Structure 1
């Protein structure tokens, strides 16, 4: 029985042959069935994802989002003179999304996001109530909200109905699930 010889390979030129511009044939990657083609470039290394387990960053992002979307929710309530359920869902989801995206998978963040979403919805409802009061008495929003916040809270308590607290629960749930999904 005779063995066959491998097919002839073209000569490789490289820096060792006196040609500084010639490339050596790259070695095949471990587990690759064929070596890469002559002159092919290796793919750049994939950028590593930043380690996201920063509780402080997640809390700061969630707090900032809670203030902004809470104020926006209040403007919606003040403009429409109604509480809107889907807006409360959006408030909660944005707060949770900010916590999860900035802070990562830390188990504290969904809970903190839910608590901050409750505060954000409450802030929004107070802002909306103050806007309605300011329009009714032809006063400025700043005067009503900052100088008479105790009266705004008293009126909010009188206007609160079971649906108000359903919006709180919806926002907290949306924040919790939003933080979980964003960190995944």
Structure 2
């Protein structure tokens, strides 16, 4: 008589309880493999947790740069400019045989610009520039007058200007009119304002 084989036993469930090897659910979106800091260790500061106060760590403002104030340097620059523009102004008058108002403005402005750029904000420089502009316009008109006379008498400019300067001055006095002196005023004003603007 054959023996009956008992049916295979189904595995019995273990006692209810947590699986020590089961992965514990973390917070949503957390990396389960990220290393957690040890107990008691301070957590790194969260971004935006401590907002920086405006200007808390800002560098202090730089001190203002003092303005340049050099009377001697401004005076030298103005004298050099006055000599140069006087010669140029005289050549323009001699070539055109006319006094040009724009040229007088340029004479004054160049002198004032040189004085202000080199000397800075010294209050004497605009006045010095205006005085030098008057002299520069006068010398330029004498140069132009000498060029006209030299062309008329067929003589050299240096001979007329240096050997007969009194004759040139007499001719300038005869040719001077109110417009001539207006050019003086224009040049002086241009030098004064040019020095002010250049030093600003």
| TM value normalised by structure 1 | 0.76
The list of structure 1 runs, each at least 4 consecutive aligned residues, that deviate by more than 3 angstroms after superposition, is 48-51
Q: CA deviation at 1:52?
A: 1.9
Residue 137 (structure 2) aligned to one of 113, 116, 121: 121
1:36-69, Cα deviation, whole Å (9 max, x unpaired):
xxxxxxxxxx9x9785211011011000100000
The answer for unaligned runs of 5 or more in structure 1 is 9-27, 33-45
Q: Does 1:176 align with 2:176?
A: no
2:154 matched residue in structure 1: 138
How far apart, CA to CA, are the structure 2 residues paired with 1:30 and 1:118?
A: 56
Superposition RMSD on alpha carbons, in Å? 2.4
Residue 61 (structure 1) aligned with residue 88 (structure 2): no
> What is aligned with 2:88?
72
Provide the C-alpha distance between the structure 2 equivalents of 1:76 and 1:50, rounded to a whole number of angstroms.
Answer: 40
* Corresponding residue SS for 2:104: helix
5+ long unaligned stretches in structure 2 = 1-42, 48-54
Q: For residues 66 and 98 of structure 2, what CA distance do their matches in structure 1 show?
A: 42
Find the partner of 2:57 among 30, 36, 44: 30
Matched, 1:6 2:22: no
Encode CA deviations 1:88-129: one digit per residue, 9 max, x unaligned: 000000000000000000000000000000000001000000
User: Which residue number corresponds to residue 147 of structure 1?
Assistant: 163
Structure 2: distance between partners of 1:93 and 1:164:
18
Correspondence for 1:108 among 113, 120, 124: 124
CA distance change for structure 1 residues 138 and 50 in 2, over 3 Å: closer, same or farther? farther
**Alignment partner, residue 99 of structure 1:** 115
Number of residues of Structure 1 aligned to a counterpart in Structure 2: 149
Q: Which structure has the bigger radius of gyration?
A: 2
- Between Structure 1 and Structure 2, the one with more helix by share is 1
